Structure formats: structure tokens, C-alpha cells
Structure 1
Amino acid sequence: MKKKATVDLVHSPILPALLSFAFPILLSNLFQQLYNTADILIVGRFIGGPALAAVGATTAIFDLIIGFTLGVGNGMGVVIARFYGARDFKKIKEAVAATWILGAILSSLVTLLGFLGLYPLLQLLGTPKEILPQSYQYISMIVSCVGVSFAYNLFAGLLRAIGNSLAALGFLLFSALVNIILDLLFITYLHMGVQSAGLATILSQGLSAILCFFYIRKKAPILLPERKHFKWNQDLYLDLLGQGLAMGLMNSLVSIGSVILQSSVNSLGTIIISAQTAARRIMSFALLPLASISSSITTFTSQNYGAKRSDRIVKGISIGSRLVIFWSLLVSGLLFLFSERFVSFIASSSDPYLIQNGSAYLKISSIFYPVLSLLLIYRNCLQGLGQKLLPLISSFIELFGKIAFVILIIPQTSYLGIILCEPIVWILMTLQLIYSLYHHPVIQEGRRIKN
């Protein structure tokens, strides 16, 4: 393996190491967003407003599925990063073998559940009847090939676990461009409709997974198990499954809350659906640096936990927190100045009602981005420490908070309630995570060493 591709998160100066590791993740996340954003832009421009609303109405379900696969991959990567920090290479290969088996089982279960419950879920969410068939066509394609997303996220998680966030970037960049080309080919030339946007996404992610596998085989053999490593080890399987499911379930709970919230959005009509879709997509791009740095904190914490460097973990939390707060303040200012233009561009619309509501969502929610930034850092640090329950509690807070808003507040306040829901929930989650993190024994030990 080329050393240039791997960042030393245990011995190198913390700030340069975090930034070097986070930057490829940032670019990877950026092009990951391009998958769905390309679908939205091309569908909106070449098929029309109802088709855009159809894709937008499935956003929460899309995030639920992809979030679960990403969480499982990252969760299992946390365990492998811990072994890498301890330099236990035999355990690394055994853990990789186990992730392949567990990933195949979990992807099959998700596909089965998707086929059984997808259409009823769209109906339950109150998806308008005029766009329901197109919504189902799009999201059913994603669900039918969820194993592809599992494969890519598992391989990418393995590379990041050993400090290599650069390799997956190149593969994802190439496949994102393929996704855009396929979108244009399927929709504008072959006229295959909304479903083909989902097909383009799956084909592109499949390409990423294949390229990741061949890279690992050639450049990172430490991550390639042999037949002897495929053996039953109850403690290892339970550790991987527990950590993977904890992070996958955490992402799923967040997305289930978003699915419930989406039902309120859908009840407000197609214009609000389009406004919300555009605003959420802009928000996703704006928060990419926060997600990238916090994701780096997970691997950083896990490797240093394996290496028994609690003092570096505490310093890493401090540096990471300052980075994300700085970015959140910067992007809040940009959204206050340019949100109307961003919404109009993403929605491919000049409708003043759509632009006004999408812009209001961005301006109000961005005020609370500093709170969200700390939430992400603290939660990812706890995950890196191998905690399963404490980060999950924050997701339950988010889920129940969104349910309370949908039942009690949004019926009285309409779209304003939807805008305020997440910021208020972020505050509650952050308070719980601050308490949990700073009462953790490793953090207390690190603070004592530092002082």
C-alpha cells in the first residue's frame, strides 16, 4: 500500500492529520450527493414538475435506505479501525471476512422488507395520488439493488478504517460522472422515465464497489481475507454486528423521523414538496464539511482508542469542534445572502411561493448549524469509542421529537412547524451527548492527562 494514501491518525500532528483525512471524505460526500441531485436536476428539467415532486416525495425513504447501509459500513469500520490502531493484523482480516458475510445477510433482509412494505409506506406518507406511481417506480429501483449500496459502503468503510480516505474518492468521482451521463442518456434520449434515474444511481454505485474491491486486492491486501479467516468467532461477530447495526439503526431512526416529517410535507401539496426537496438538497451540500470532519473524528477516535491514546482523543475533539463551528457560521451567512438563488436553481423554478418557502427553511435552520456541528462531533466520537447505546439514545430523542411535532405542532403552524422541528430537536440531542461524552471514562482520563 502506498503510504501517501494512508493518513497516520495516531502519531501525526492532529490538525493536519484530520484535515488530510477529512478532505477526501468531503469530496466523496460531495459526489455522493451528486447522485441524487443529478436525478433531481435532470428529472425537473426534462420530465417536469410532477416528476420532480415524485422524486422529492421519496427523499426520506432514499435517505433511510442509504443511511442504513452507510451506517452499517461505518460501524463495522469502527471495529476494524480499533484493530488497526492496536496493529492486530490477524484480527483485521478475520473482521473483514465477517463483514462480508454480515453485509450479504443484511442487504438481503433490507431488499425483502423493501419489496413487502415500500408501496404501503408511500401511501402511509400521504404521497399525492397523481405522483404515487412515479414515486414508486423511482424508489423501488433503489431498493431492489440495495446490495450494491451495501457493497460500496462496506468497501469504503474498510479503506477509511485504516486511514485511507483518498482511494474511494477517485472511484466515486468517476462513477458520479457516469451517473450524470446515464441520467441524460436514459431520460433525454431513451425517454425511460423517472425509474431510469434510480437505475442510473444503482449502476454508478455498482461501478464504485467494483473499483474499490480491485483497489483493495492490489493496493491494500491487509484488508483482503483468506479462506482461513472465514471462521466463526462469536465475540467478533457480535461486536461487528452490534456496532454496525447500532450505527445503521441510528441513521435509520434519523431517517424514520424524516419519513414521518415527510408525511406532513406531502400533505401541504406539490409546491411545498418541491420547495422542501430543493432546500434539503442545498442543506445537504452546505453541511458536507461538518459531516466529513465528524466522520474523520470517528476513525481518529477509534484508532487512538485502540492505541490507548486518550489524550489525543480529547485534543481531537477540541480541534474538530472549532473547525465545524467555524464552517457552520460561515455557511449560515452565505445562506442568508443567497438562499433564494440557490432554491430557484435547484428546483428549476421561478415560482415565488416555492422560492419563499425553500429560502425560509434554509435561513431559519442555518441559525442552529453551530449546535448541529457539535452534535455531530460528540456523537461520532462516542461511536469511535465503541459506544452503541449512547449515540442511539440521541437518535431516539430525534425520532420522538419529530413525532411530537407532527402530531402536536405542525397541524397548528403548517410549514413553519416543519422548519422549526429539527433545530429544536438538535438542541435536546446535543445536551444529551455533551453529558454522555464528558462522563465517559476514556474522556475523563484524557482530560486528566492533558491537564
Structure 2
Amino acid sequence: MSDTAAQEAKYKKMVETPIPKLVVSLAVPTIISMMVTSIYNMADTFFVGQIGTSATGAVGVVFSLMAIIQAIGFTLGMGSGNYISRLLGQRDHERAQQVASTGFVTALIVGAVVAVLGLIFIDPLVRMLGATETILPHARAYAQYILIGAPYMAASFVLNNILRFQGNAIYAMVGLTAGGVLNIILDPIFIFGLGMGTGGAALATIISQFVSFLILFYNCQGKGGGIKVRFTSFKPCWSIYKEILRGGLPSFYRQGLASISTICLNLGAGPFGDAAIAAMSIVGKVFMFAFSILLGFGQGFQPVCGFNYGAQRYDRVLRAFWFCVKVGVILLAVLAVGGVIFAPQLVELFRKGDAEVVAIGVVAMRWQAVVFPLSAWVTMCNMLLQAIGKGTKASILAMARQGIFFLPLILVLPHTIGLLGVQISQPIADVCTFLLAVPLTVSVLRELKQQMYLQPGYDPETETMSPAEETAK
């Protein structure tokens, strides 16, 4: 099949396949990718947890550094991907290839700058991230390897999103899953077999991430009718960066604030001992795994949303949004019940026999589980706003959970109500974010519905475009 024929087939698939079938087909590979990524993040915590409480705390401390690298990758990746999906909906393949290549090369450059600066100032860096004197040696050993891998780790997030937003989630899944499985295999070998301790976990991570990077780059060479990432197509101009930033800044705010909030969480938990830092790190990893399922499902929605918005199929955008909200709420409600019931067992999985860590972690996990279903609405709203280019609203919502609401709470509550303040700051922030997301998104949903009504060929009885109009388009 020629490139043109493959691209046309991809277009028809994205604008004609029934919404539930299309979203699920794109979501399943992404869910697998997100779960594997979360599993190997938890694998580091699990294996390092065998070394000691301070080592477990170190993984939580350095996680905020990884969040910074992710922020770079997601900003350029989500921004490029959102723009690409709209361009493909408009059938502008040449521009889409320029956007993809520009986002990729820029991630390599920015990641290299972070790596150099981080390695030069590594001790001040890990202290700033919240390392105590007992955690510092473990955190330094872990961070130095993560910084070495920063350029291609950031670029991998871009490649992953470029594939996803074209509707090629299966190719993204292959790259991420291969790296994740390799990480789980290498962790015990490097940590215990080679006696590298905490540093071994980080070395296993960057080797695995490099393998993922190579596979993802190979898969970004026109597979499945997709566009090609080429160094020769790198076009660093403002018109491209403006659109990348419009779609990507919400991810930057979200991921950047995740890093800052983790630092503040570690600093807030620090006065209550290494057990508190370790416990909150464990709870964060468990919920990240649970949330990755929703995130993967939502990421199956984003290319459908962006592609059909670019093709002016607003009826399909709305149907996809409400389908994902319903599925997301049910999914998180089930996981929340499991979190409340099995909280002790989940925390003990990482620090068995450490009664203090378990006691602190169980309380935090149950509070978080109670409000967990609200995240379904917030996440889908954020993805909708980001995919259709509503950058300002998407940015406000992205900053809300771990910035606007969480940061004041974690800075104030531990000083006023002690350890409980550390444990309930995030759940309270989640409730506030939900209340903000409702008015922000309802106005956009009304706007989309009005645009749908004005489309030629709109059928008010079925709330879809007529087949005749669809054929004409």
C-alpha cells in the first residue's frame, strides 16, 4: 500500500469507526504501555525497598527529578501530538512531519542541557528535592544515572505521543513494553547480583529506557501510514513552537507541578522521619499505577478527539468525551473500593514488617481512595481541552491539582494538624480540582454542541452528521 493510500485509510478509520470501538482499540495498547511503565516504576521501589527505608525514600525523592524530565517530554510530546492530530484531520501531512521532527529534536537538546547542569550540581540538586542526610547517598547514586539518560528519556516521551496521536498506539506500546519488561529483569541483577544498590536500580532504568527509545524511533519511520520523524525535517520556527506550546504547556504545568509538589511533600513529611517519606512515596506509586489505567484510556480518547476536531466532526468529539467519562468513573470507583479494603496489604508489599511505614501509608491510601473517582472527570476534561487547543483553560486545570490547591495545603496543613496534614493534602486538593473542572469544561461542551448544530448535514434526531455529508467531506 502506498503512503497516500495508507494515510487515507487512517483518515477513514479515525472519522468513521464507531466511537466505543475506536477509543477502545486505541486505548488498550496505551493502557498496557502505561501499566508497564508504572510497574517498572514500582519495581524500583519494591527492589530498593529490600535495602532499607532510607533507600526507599531516595526513590521517592529522585522521582521528582524524573517528573522534570517527563515534563520536558510531555510538553513537547503532547504539544506536538495534539497539533499533529489536528493537522492529519486537515490532511496536512507535510506540516505534521515538520512538527513531529521539531518536537523530537528539541527534546534531545533540552534533555542534554538538564543532564549537564544536573550532574554538575548533583548534591545541591538532591538536597533541594528533599533528601535528608540519611537519604542523600542513596539519592545521589540514583540521580546520577537518571541524569545521564535524560536526553533520550525526554525524547522517548515525544516519540510515544507522536505515535499515539496518529492512531498508532500499538507501535508505541511495543517500545514502552519492551523497555518495561527489561527494567524489571535488570533491577534485581544490578541491585543485588552486582551489588550496586540504589544506583543499580537507576542504571537498569536508563538502559531499559534507551532500548525503548531505539524501538520508538524505529517505529516513527512511517509505520502504519504514519508520518516520519527526520532530523532533516527539524524546523525550529515560532509558528511551530507556538502551536506545540499551546497544546503542551498544560502538560508542562501538570508534570512540572508534580515535581514541585513531590519536593514539597517530601519536605512536609521529612520532620516526621524517613518512614513518612517512604510511606508517601509508596502510596504515590500505587495510585500512579491505578491512575495509569485511566490515563491510558484517556490517551486513547485524545487522538480521536483531536483528529475529529480537525475534521470538524464535533458530534464524534462529544460522544467520545462522554463515553470516556462514564467508563472512567466506573473504573476508578472499582479501584477505589479495592484501595480502601486492601490498603494494609498494598503498603506491606513494599515494606513488609515495617509497622511505622505501613501505619502511615494505610491512612494516606484510604483518604486518597475515597476521592479517587473524581479524577475521571478531571482527567477527561483536561484531555479534551488540550486536544482541541483550549490552551488557557487546559493550563488552569492542569495547574490546579498539584499546584493551585495542593501546594498551599501541603505547606500549611502539616504545621497545623501534624502528620494527618501530609496524608490528606492531596485528597482535599483533588476535591477542589473537581469543583473547578465542572464550570471550565461545561462552557466548552456547550460551544462544541453549538458548532455541531451549525454543521451542514447535521441530523438533530441522531445528533450526527448525515452519511451524505460525511461522504462529501
TM-score normalized with structure 1 length: 0.92
- Give matches, 1:211-226, under 5 Å: 211-217=215-221, 219-220=223-224, 222-224=226-228
Quick one: distance in 2 between partners of 1:224 and 1:362?
A: 43
Is residue 2:190 matched to residue 1:186? yes
Is residue 2:30 matched to residue 1:31? no
Residue in structure 2 matched with residue 100 of structure 1 by the alignment: 104
- Give matches, 1:135-154, under 5 Å: 135-154=139-158
- Give matches, 1:7-406, under 5 Å: 8-45=13-50, 47-115=51-119, 118-217=122-221, 219-220=223-224, 222-224=226-228, 229-231=233-235, 233-347=237-351, 349-398=352-401, 399-406=403-410
Contact preservation (8 Å) 1:317, 1:377? yes
Question: Closer, same or farther in 2 for the Cα pair 1:239/1:117, shift >3 Å?
Answer: farther
Question: Closer, same or farther in 2 for the Cα pair 1:7/1:29, shift >3 Å?
Answer: farther
Contact preservation (8 Å) 1:313, 1:446? no
Q: Which moved more, 1:1-10 or 1:12-21?
A: 1-10
Which letter does structure 2 place at the counterpart of 1:21? L
Quick one: distance in 1 between partners of 2:448 and 2:435?
A: 17
Question: Closer, same or farther in 2 for the Cα pair 1:227/1:264, shift >3 Å?
Answer: closer
Contact preservation (8 Å) 1:311, 1:446? no
Unmatched 5+ residue regions in structure 2? 464-473
Unmatched 5+ residue regions in structure 1? none
Q: What secondary structure sits across from 2:15 in the alignment?
A: coil
Q: Which runs of 4+ in 1 moved over 6 A?
A: 1-7
Quick one: distance in 1 between partners of 2:189 and 2:199?
A: 13
Q: Deviations over 1:218-273 (max 9, x none)?
A: 62574225677444653123212443344223321233123212211222211112
Contact preservation (8 Å) 1:126, 1:267? no
Contact preservation (8 Å) 2:70, 2:157? no
Q: Deviations over 1:390-409 (max 9, x none)?
A: 12212433313223223321
Which letter does structure 1 place at the counterpart of 2:33? S
Which letter does structure 1 place at the counterpart of 2:94? K
Q: What secondary structure sits across from 1:191 in the alignment?
A: coil
Residue in structure 1 matched with residue 471 of structure 2 by the alignment: none
> Once the 2 structures are TM-superposed, how far is the Cα of residue 442 of structure 1 from its aligned partner?
4.4
Contact preservation (8 Å) 1:75, 1:248? no
Contact preservation (8 Å) 1:63, 1:255? yes
> Once the 2 structures are TM-superposed, how far is the Cα of residue 431 of structure 1 from its aligned partner?
2.7
Quick one: distance in 2 between partners of 1:161 and 1:375?
A: 20
Which letter does structure 1 place at the counterpart of 2:45? I
Contact preservation (8 Å) 1:6, 1:162? no
Which letter does structure 2 place at the counterpart of 1:28? S
RMSD: 2.5
> Once the 2 structures are TM-superposed, how far is the Cα of residue 126 of structure 1 from its aligned partner?
4.3
Q: What secondary structure sits across from 1:267 in the alignment?
A: helix
Contact preservation (8 Å) 1:297, 1:384? no
Quick one: distance in 2 between partners of 1:252 and 1:101?
A: 20
Q: What secondary structure sits across from 1:346 in the alignment?
A: coil
Quick one: distance in 2 between partners of 1:172 and 1:201?
A: 12
TM-score normalized with structure 2 length: 0.88
Quick one: distance in 2 between partners of 1:159 and 1:332?
A: 31
Which of 413, 416, 420 pairs up with 2:417?
Answer: 413
Contact preservation (8 Å) 2:393, 2:440? yes
Q: Which moved more, 1:259-268 or 1:122-131?
A: 122-131
Contact preservation (8 Å) 1:247, 1:388? no
> Once the 2 structures are TM-superposed, how far is the Cα of residue 113 of structure 1 from its aligned partner?
4.4
Q: Which moved more, 1:318-327 or 1:277-286?
A: 277-286
Q: Deviations over 1:68-87 (max 9, x none)?
A: 42343122111111111222
> Once the 2 structures are TM-superposed, how far is the Cα of residue 382 of structure 1 from its aligned partner?
0.2
Q: Which moved more, 1:227-236 or 1:402-411?
A: 227-236
Q: Deviations over 1:392-438 (max 9, x none)?
A: 21243331322322332111222221222122222222233322222
Residue in structure 1 matched with residue 440 of structure 2 by the alignment: 436
Question: Closer, same or farther in 2 for the Cα pair 1:83/1:231, shift >3 Å?
Answer: same
Quick one: distance in 2 between partners of 1:444 and 1:6?
A: 23
Question: Closer, same or farther in 2 for the Cα pair 1:270/1:227, shift >3 Å?
Answer: closer
Contact preservation (8 Å) 1:6, 1:165? no
Quick one: distance in 2 between partners of 1:409 and 1:299?
A: 40
Quick one: distance in 1 between partners of 2:227 and 2:329?
A: 35
Which letter does structure 1 place at the counterpart of 2:176? L
Question: Closer, same or farther in 2 for the Cα pair 1:82/1:408, shift >3 Å?
Answer: same
Contact preservation (8 Å) 1:71, 1:250? no
Quick one: distance in 2 between partners of 1:387 and 1:245?
A: 11
> Once the 2 structures are TM-superposed, how far is the Cα of residue 116 of structure 1 from its aligned partner?
5.5
Q: Which moved more, 1:241-250 or 1:173-182?
A: 241-250
Percent of pairs identical after alignment? 24
Q: What secondary structure sits across from 1:163 in the alignment?
A: coil
Question: Closer, same or farther in 2 for the Cα pair 1:310/1:57, shift >3 Å?
Answer: same
> Once the 2 structures are TM-superposed, how far is the Cα of residue 181 of structure 1 from its aligned partner?
2.3
Q: Deviations over 1:315-349 (max 9, x none)?
A: 111111100100111011111221111110122x2
Contact preservation (8 Å) 2:69, 2:154? no
